[in-house]
Amino acid sequence: MRFYDVSEGEILIDGQNIKSFEKNALNEKFGVVFQNDTIFEDTILENITLGRKIDLEQVKEAALHAQAAPFIENIENTYDAKLDIRGANLSGGQKQRILIARALVGRPEILILDDSSSALDYKTDANLRKEIRENLDIKSQVTDEDINELITDKVFEEARLLSLSIREKQELISVLFNSIRKLDILQPLIDDKSITEIMVNGEDNIFIEKHGRTYSIESNFESRQKLEDVIQSVVSKVNRVVNEASPIVDARLADGSRVNVVLPPIALNGPILTIRKFPERPISMKDLIEWGSITEEAAEVLERLVKAKYNIFICGGTGSGKTSFLNALSDFIPRDERIVTIEDSAELQIKNIKNIVKLETRNANTEGKGEITIRDLIRTSLRMRPERIIIGEVRGAEALDMLQAMNTGHDGSISTGHGNSTADMLSRLETMVLSGTMMPLEAIRQQIASAVDIMVHLSRFRDSTRKVVEIVEVTDCREGMIGLNPLFEFVERGGSMSEKVEGCLVRTGNTMKNLAKLRMAGLNEVI
């Protein structure tokens, strides 16, 4: 386009040096579409032609190739419809398609596209994918490589009409492959390591959590059926069943990401899919210290307590980081011990223990048989000679089995649960036990006090940071009340409610009362 002439070498078009072209003749050879270009306060027709003498049929042809014709012809006055300044009365995808039509209408020999398809709405992309998939003869035994080759051939054949760049063709190939062999539009989100949570509220309402903040994304599943196919693909790989009869299920992906599914009629706005992703490398206690989630002093105390085989219960609200903290805490377990982990859906990442048994619950089959609960797994784990039992999360009557295991020689056990505070978690444990037995409340509290030694409470703050806010010793049960001895408490300092949380975990000044396990482990330091 000769904004600048080259100082060395030459630029040729069809073997002819661009310096030999008249400026206007050279410009006519190019069509340019920028990601963010100008829409004028004028008609659609004038925005496409830009004052050039181009007949309406040629404009319609360009709009058709740019996938703009369907929405233009469905609005009042069609090509004579008046646009607001900067296209304020158009969606991002509609504006982009008009810009593409503007570039195509001049029938340029060379088309320059600067991420021009970035704002195309999903339905437009879906139409392209549907057309290509329908023309592919794909059988189950075909390899991924064969599928990718078939898709590539078809894309390069079909994409000529859309004048896509090489990079855009490659993106389309990736989208199609994900749709056929992977998790469709969710696959790029799963591959993106900065995304920690994916929330699908029906086929056309998707949110992600990234860097602690929640965002809506423009991509949609092309149909509810496609979303349901993806869900069935996920649950079937871990031998789970989800349908109208059993509309709720927990599962996991191959990378360990946790999956929760809720189907209609329970879910009123369509199939619900929630994916909690975990880092490839488990978060360590060192990481938590660097992030300010816990102090080095508190981490050292917890290390001694784990090594001395104190029973520890981690509590916190949803998204407070309980599982990540449990993984970090497990690094302190001596490597020569035998561990049994019990989970609804396997997500723990305990890497330093070789003698480990991982157990996972199982849902009932279509006949209502074959269910294996956490209670079943806790009971069977006692016959495996474990030195510690780690329960991913207690939610119901299995809390009694957990407490009994802690009270029958399996010191050093660790578990988690949902609770907004230490006191709230103790109350919830009582309720869980009561759901499975008719024991007197005082007897339940005695069980809790004798089983649980330490409670660690986590919280997610207003600035999305996750911190340990309390480390409490459970002492005894007197006069029907569980005794608590706070060892560390989070103290916030300075700043308004809208600013970054500043503060740290500080000692309360209280010393531990139960030092027996420390002494038995040869760790006589006062905590």
Percentage of the chain surpassing pLDDT 70?
A: 87
Residue 432, in any domain of the structure: yes
Count of C-beta atoms within a 10 Å radius of residue 88: 10
Integer Cα distance of 79 and 60 in angstroms:
9
Total domains, the chain: 3
Q: What angle do CA 523, 524, 527 make, to 5 degrees?
A: 95
Integer Cα distance of 197 and 460 in angstroms:
15
Residue 154, in any domain of the structure: no
Query: Which two tokens mark 445?
Result: 């509290």
Judgement on whether residues 88 and 191 belong to the same structural domain of the protein: no
Judgement on whether residues 348 and 417 belong to the same structural domain of the protein: yes
CA dihedral sign, ordered 150, 152, 156, 162: positive
| pLDDT tens profile 481-524 | 999 999 999 998 765 555 678 888 999 999 999 999 998 888 86
- Residue 43 CB partners (closer than 8 Å, separation 6+): 79, 80, 81, 82, 83
Under DSSP, the state recorded for 331 is: T
Q: What is the mean pLDDT of residues 2-25?
A: 75
Of the three residues 229, 256, 276, the one that is the final residue of a domain is 276
Residue 477 pLDDT > 80: yes
Query: Which two tokens mark 125?
Result: 């992309």
Query: Which two tokens mark 404?
Result: 């009994």
Place of tokens 């027996």: 516
Query: Per-residue confidence at 459, pLDDT binned at 50, 70, 90?
Result: very high
Query: Which two tokens mark 112?
Result: 């320059």
Q: Report whether 125 contacts 175 (CB < 8 A).
A: yes
Q: Is 330 strand, coil or helix?
A: helix
Q: What is the predicted pLDDT for the residue at 497? A: 57
User: What phi, psi does 327 have (nearest 5°)?
Assistant: -60, -45
Residue type present at position 134: E
Query: Which two tokens mark 368?
Result: 């209502």
Query: Per-residue confidence at 157, pLDDT binned at 50, 70, 90?
Result: low
Q: What is the DSSP string of 57-109?
A: HHHHHHHHHTT-HHHHTTSTTGGGPBPPGGGTTS-HHHHHHHHHHHHHTT--S
Greatest alpha-carbon pair distance for the chain in Å reads: 100
Q: What is the mean pLDDT of residues 388-398?
A: 91
Of the three residues 85, 120, 155, the one that is the final residue of a domain is 120
Judgement on whether residues 348 and 480 belong to the same structural domain of the protein: yes
Q: What is the dihedral of CA 158, 162, 164, 169, to 10 degrees?
A: -30
Burial class (CB in 10 A: 0-12, 13-18, 19+), 505: buried
Residue 445, in any domain of the structure: yes
Report how far apart, in Å, the C-alpha atoms of 65 and of each of 34, 102, 156, 467, 471 are.
17, 11, 15, 54, 64
User: Please, what is the end-to-end C-alpha distance for the chain in angstroms?
Assistant: 75
Separate counts of helices (H) and strands (E) for the chain: 18, 19
Residue 251, in any domain of the structure: yes
Judgement on whether residues 375 and 267 belong to the same structural domain of the protein: no
Of the three residues 120, 139, 168, the one that is the final residue of a domain is 120
Judgement on whether residues 400 and 418 belong to the same structural domain of the protein: yes
Query: Per-residue confidence at 334, pLDDT binned at 50, 70, 90?
Result: very high
pTM of the model: 0.64
Judgement on whether residues 400 and 460 belong to the same structural domain of the protein: yes
Judgement on whether residues 250 and 291 belong to the same structural domain of the protein: no
| pLDDT tens profile 39-69 | 888 898 988 888 888 889 889 888 887 778 8
Residue 411 pLDDT > 80: yes
Place of tokens 């308004």: 496
Q: What is the predicted pLDDT for the residue at 489? A: 95
Under DSSP, the state recorded for 243 is: S
Instruction: Check residues 384 and 11 and name the one with the higher pLDDT.
Output: 384
Long-range contacts of the stretch 6-13 (C-beta < 8 A, 24+)? 13/109, 13/110
Q: What is the predicted pLDDT for the residue at 119? A: 45
Judgement on whether residues 443 and 306 belong to the same structural domain of the protein: yes
Q: What is the predicted pLDDT for the residue at 93? A: 65
Bridge partners of residue 209, in order along the sequence: 197, 214
Q: What is the mean pLDDT of residues 427-441?
A: 90
Integer Cα distance of 311 and 389 in angstroms:
10
Q: Report whether 164 contacts 231 (CB < 8 A).
A: no
Judgement on whether residues 199 and 71 belong to the same structural domain of the protein: no
Domain that includes residue 200, residue range: 182-276
| pLDDT tens profile 226-244 | 899 889 888 888 778 888 8
Is residue 334 reached through a cis peptide bond, with omega within 30 degrees of 0 on the bond before it? no
Residue type present at position 70: P
Q: What is the mean pLDDT of residues 241-251?
A: 86
Nearest to 185, CA basis, from 196, 198, 169, 194: 198
Q: What is the predicted pLDDT for the residue at 207? A: 94
Integer Cα distance of 128 and 173 in angstroms:
11
The CATH number linked to 108 is 3.40.50.300
Judgement on whether residues 321 and 390 belong to the same structural domain of the protein: yes
Q: What is the mean pLDDT of residues 242-248?
A: 86
Judgement on whether residues 272 and 291 belong to the same structural domain of the protein: no
CA dihedral sign, ordered 337, 343, 349, 354: positive
Residue 155, in any domain of the structure: no
Residue 167, in any domain of the structure: no
Place of tokens 């039992």: 389
Residue 458, in any domain of the structure: yes
Nearest to 248, CA basis, from 235, 239, 238: 235
Under DSSP, the state recorded for 512 is: P
The CATH number linked to 248 is 3.30.450.370
Judgement on whether residues 219 and 326 belong to the same structural domain of the protein: no
Q: Is 360 strand, coil or helix?
A: strand
Q: What is the mean pLDDT of residues 310-324?
A: 92
Integer Cα distance of 58 and 384 in angstroms:
77
Q: What is the predicted pLDDT for the residue at 422? A: 93
Give the number of residues written for the chain: 527
Question: What burial letters (b/e) apply to 319-331, b meaning 16+ CB within 10 Å?
Answer: ebbbbbbbbbbbb
Q: What is the predicted pLDDT for the residue at 389? A: 94
Integer Cα distance of 382 and 409 in angstroms:
10
Q: What is the mean pLDDT of residues 193-199?
A: 91
Q: What is the DSSP string of 397-440?
A: THHHHHHHHHTTT-TT-EEEEE-SSHHHHHHHHHHHHHTT----
| pLDDT tens profile 203-230 | 989 999 987 788 998 888 888 888 998 8
Percentage of the chain surpassing pLDDT 90?
A: 34
Residue 264, in any domain of the structure: yes
Count of C-beta atoms within a 10 Å radius of residue 102: 24
Residue 131 pLDDT > 70: no
- Residue 513 CB partners (closer than 8 Å, separation 6+): 473, 475, 485
